[in-house]
Amino acid sequence: MFRTSRNAFTGLLLSAALLVTAGCGGGGGVGYYEPLGSVEVANLTAFEDVTYFSLTPAGSFGGSGDLLGFPLFPGEAAYVGDFYEDYYDVDYELDYGFMYWEPDYFVAAGFINTFDVF
């Protein structure tokens, strides 16, 4: 009988410890992890403006719409937003209507991710 009550007491202690540790997570503070990464576009072309830029979760249809909102001239860079850490498909357009698509661009959380247009 002593062994059974000792096992029950051990189980009770473990259950209490689990409840205490479950109540300690999340909600900001030290160790809180927000899985967002900033994305900027850098126009490294010599003569063409970037006139459209869009990110879509990889493998899905539809898009975010134009995230630039204005032409990005050669040598310029612009912040376009914060995105969850994941893979994205990139659509962008240069002067004269040439559209480009690049799959599987990875946005890393906690970093400024620069998408270079050549």
Q: Tell me whether residue 14 is in a domain.
A: no
The CATH number assigned to the domain holding 60 equals 2.60.40.2890
For 113, the domain range is: 36-117
Q: Tell me whether residue 23 is in a domain.
A: no
> Which of 3-7, 13-17, 28-32, 88-92 has the largest mean confidence?
88-92
Q: Tell me whether residue 41 is in a domain.
A: yes
Q: Please report which confidence band the pLDDT of residue 2 belongs to, taking 50, 70 and 90 as the band edges.
A: very low
pLDDT digits (tens, 9 = 90+) for 48-98: 999 999 999 998 987 789 999 999 999 999 999 999 999 999 999 999 888
Q: Region 16-35: what's the mean pLDDT?
A: 57
Q: Tell me whether residue 64 is in a domain.
A: yes
Distance (Å, rounded) from C-alpha 90 to C-alpha 56? 7
Q: What are the φ and ψ backbone dihedral angles of 106, each rounded to 5 degrees?
A: -90, 125
pLDDT of the residue at 72:
97
Q: Tell me whether residue 107 is in a domain.
A: yes
Q: Tell me whether residue 40 is in a domain.
A: yes
> What tokens appear for 96 in the block?
């004269």
Contacts with 72 (C-beta within 8 Å, 6 or more apart), sequence order = 41, 43, 49, 50, 51, 53, 78, 117
- What pTM does this model have? 0.70
